[in-house]
Amino acid sequence: MTYPNGARSFTPDFAQLIVAMDQWSEPYWQAVGEHRLQFPRCGKCGTFRWPAGPFCYKCRSQEVEWVTAGQARIYSYTVLPVMGPDKDAPPQWRVPVVVEFDGIPDVRLVSVLVGAPLDALAIGDMLEPEWLAAENATVPGFRLAEEKA
Amino acid sequence: MTSPAAIVGVGATPYYFRGTSLPQTVYELIGKAVLMGVEDAGLGVDDVDGLTFFAYGFDTATIVEMLGMPQVTFAHVVGGYGAGMAGVLDLAAMAIETGRAKTVVCIGAGQQSANRYGQALGRLPSTPDNIFHQIAGLGGPGQAMALLTQRHMHKFGTRREAFGEIVIASRAAAFNRETAIRRKHLTMDDYMASPMLADPMCRLDFCLETDGALAFVVTSAERARDLKQKPVYISATAQVANRDWGRGFFWLGQSDEAFTSAGAAGVAERLRQTSGYDPKDIDVACIYDHFSPMVLMQLEDYGFCKKGEGGPFVQSGAIKLDGSIPINPHGGHLSEGYVTGMTHMREAVEQLRGQAVNQIAGAKRALVTGGPAPHPLTAAVLSNEP
């Protein structure tokens, strides 16, 4: 798909977003508030699970330890045209992205890619987090780690 | 192994473009479909003693009240949104086989005037699990399935032309079908010019949004032989839920292999184990086509081609009406109408009765698949031989 020359994805405004969390996901959101990404691993058998939840799906233990994520990469993505109130105006582009991390096998974070050049995206591209403010929490978005020439 | 149960009646309302079935309620649509179904079978409403549903179903008491059913002794629902569609036949066959009911009506219906399925994800209340989809901006199932599609293309080299081929074949099949909503001839240039809604999926990869109701009357194979219509036997059914797929695109944490699939590998395997299912035995396949890339991935999951080879397979012309495995000769959800898979069941019955608009000569066995969606996923093999 060819997008308008130089088109980039926009940064959504999450100021009104209320992030729903529970006792299992709260440590994730607390770490994000400190600009760190960490994911839950079973305290008994070491299997990662995501989203954070009450049981290990392999050994059914409820013990959890949190592990800091390594390098982020695009596992998959899509590009959505977002129309504003003026239907004749050109769309903005939103890029939902599925992110995988070094050292965190089988976990994929569903997030949003901001400021991304639409014509130069590829699965496997390295990402870095972009910390965005929501009403009651910080939300991790991502941007390309280094843009291709 | 002989089949215990058969489909003996089919009822269907017209297929209405989204919202245009008003002022009828969805229960009025259901009532009409049930009445047509029992009449098609040569039976009466008083004979109905079983009801089966899927996708969270409809209210049994309301239907029993509305149509005056004297005694329903079996009323059950398969979960899994459209994934559970073919499972209504599994429940019906189970009721017949165990003697819990003698005449079961399987019901599916939709009315999208207030609740468009295409925006279903965005409407869900915020939870600790789905907050991530909200952050991403994934408001509809198609947007989430675009992520699976993008990765399939990356991993296997699948091209958009393959999805185009599926849409074009669907439109060609719908051309002479009066019930179909989209009948205009399409070329690959038309397809490529269609606006991108969720890269790599364009508008034409998304199915219709339709109002309508369908009802299928199921009874014992033995009784079916004495009724009005040529029986369509329920040869095999399967329902499977597994963690490999789980909530599928509502989750996006599938196993790496399942991520680039339609979540149906387990169902195909279960059909193999319980009935010796072999795709070579299938004469016509009614594949749930809410989104064209998911047709391609189902062809792989159900073994019509190898994993990753769905692109070249559909581009070879295999799925056309005169191909080695004709897909959706009624035009499917992409061109005829979308009533969560039930229109596919109707087409399978018409094919096996020999009454289809685009009749596949000598069709003896049809596969009907539930839609890739949160598990349980279901499928059925129907046959005009007991």
Of B104, B97, B105, B103, give the one whose Cα is nearest residue B4.
Answer: B97
pLDDT in tens, B141-158: 999 999 999 999 999 999
pLDDT band at B114 (very low <50, low <70, confident <90, very high): low
CB contact under 8 A, A97 and B243: no
B97-115 mean pLDDT: 92
Of B105, B138, B110, give the one whose Cα is nearest residue B29.
Answer: B110
B126-143 mean pLDDT: 94
CB contact under 8 A, B199 and A79: yes
Amino acid at the residue B232: V
A72-93 mean pLDDT: 93
* pLDDT > 60? residue A18: yes
* pLDDT > 60? residue B78: yes
pLDDT in tens, A39-60: 999 999 999 999 999 999 999 9
Tokens of A100: 């995988």
Going by DSSP bridges, is the β-strand pair B104-110/B50-54 parallel, antiparallel, or unpaired? parallel
Return the pLDDT at A86. Answer: 86
Return the pLDDT at B69. Answer: 98
- C-alpha to C-alpha distance for B348 and B287, rounded to whole angstroms: 10
Instruction: Render the burial of A110-123: b for 16+ CB within 10 Å, e for the rest.
Output: bbbbbebebeebeb
Select from B128, B143, B147 the Cβ nearest to the Cβ of A21: B128
Q: What DSSP string runs through chain A?
A: ---STT-B------TT------TTTHHHHHHHHTT--EEEEETTT--B-SS--SS-TTT----EEEEE---EEEEEE--EEE--S-TTSPPEEEEEEEEEETT-TT--EEEEE-S-BGGG--TT-EEEEEEEE-SSSEEEEEEESS---
CATH superfamily placement of domain B5-113+207-383: Thiolase/Chalcone synthase (3.40.47.10)
CB contact under 8 A, A80 and B134: no
Return the pLDDT at A48. Answer: 98
pLDDT in tens, B253-265: 999 999 999 999 9
- C-alpha to C-alpha distance for B85 and B65, rounded to whole angstroms: 24
Select from B154, B200, B243 the Cβ nearest to the Cβ of A57: B243
Return the pLDDT at B116. Answer: 72
With an 8 Å Cβ cutoff, is B129 touching chain A? Answer: yes
- C-alpha to C-alpha distance for B77 and B97, rounded to whole angstroms: 17
Nearest chain B residue to A48 by CA distance is B253
With an 8 Å Cβ cutoff, is A10 touching chain B? Answer: no
Helices B60-67/B26-41 angle, 10° precision: 60
Return the pLDDT at A60. Answer: 98
pLDDT in tens, B187-232: 999 999 999 999 999 999 999 999 999 999 999 999 999 999 999 9
- C-alpha to C-alpha distance for B291 and B334, rounded to whole angstroms: 7
Return the pLDDT at A137. Answer: 97
- Measured in whole angstroms, the distance separating CA A108 from the mean position of its chain's CA atoms is 8
With an 8 Å Cβ cutoff, is B136 touching chain A? Answer: yes
Return the pLDDT at B174. Answer: 96
B334-351 mean pLDDT: 97
Cβ–Cβ < 8 Å for B331, B182: yes
Cβ–Cβ < 8 Å for B234, B92: yes
Going by DSSP bridges, is the β-strand pair B50-54/B210-220 parallel, antiparallel, or unpaired? unpaired
Residue B104 pairs in a beta bridge with B50, B218
| B171 phi/psi in degrees, rounded to 5 | -70, -35
Return the pLDDT at B112. Answer: 83
Cα–Cα distances in angstroms (integers) from residue B200 to residues A28, A142, B142, B156, in the given order = 32, 21, 11, 14
* pLDDT > 90? residue B359: yes
pLDDT band at B53 (very low <50, low <70, confident <90, very high): very high
What own/partner pairs with CB < 8 Å and gap ≥ 24 does B114-117 have?
Answer: B116/B18, B116/B209, B117/B141, B117/B209, B117/B338
pLDDT in tens, A106-130: 999 999 999 999 999 999 999 999 9
- Chain A residues with CB under 8 Å of B134 CB are 17
B297-316 mean pLDDT: 98
**Is the dihedral angle over the CA atoms B10, B16, B17, B22 positive or is it negative?**
negative
> Closest Cα of chain A to B275: distance in Å?
30
Cβ–Cβ < 8 Å for B160, B111: no
| Percent of chain B whose pLDDT exceeds 90 | 94
| Percent of chain B whose pLDDT exceeds 70 | 97
Arithmetic mean of pLDDT over chain B: 96
Of B167, B200, B93, give the one whose Cα is nearest residue A79.
Answer: B200
Domain definitions of chain B by residue range: 5-113+207-383
Size of chain A in residues: 149
Instruction: Determine the longest span between alpha carbons in chain B, in angstroms.
Output: 58
pLDDT band at A2 (very low <50, low <70, confident <90, very high): confident
* pLDDT > 90? residue B368: yes
Return the pLDDT at B8. Answer: 98
With an 8 Å Cβ cutoff, is B122 touching chain A? Answer: no
Residue A28 zone, left/alpha/beta (φ > 0; ψ -120 to 50; rest): alpha
pLDDT band at A149 (very low <50, low <70, confident <90, very high): very low
Return the pLDDT at B324. Answer: 97
Going by DSSP bridges, is the β-strand pair B50-54/B74-78 parallel, antiparallel, or unpaired? parallel
Q: Which residues contact A112 (CB under 8 A, 6 or more apart)?
A: A9, A12, A94, A95, A96, A97, A141, A142, B135, B136, B137
CB contact under 8 A, A78 and B146: yes
Tokens of B23: 């002022």
- C-alpha to C-alpha distance for B285 and B24, rounded to whole angstroms: 32
Cβ–Cβ < 8 Å for A130, A142: yes
- C-alpha to C-alpha distance for B217 and B106, rounded to whole angstroms: 6
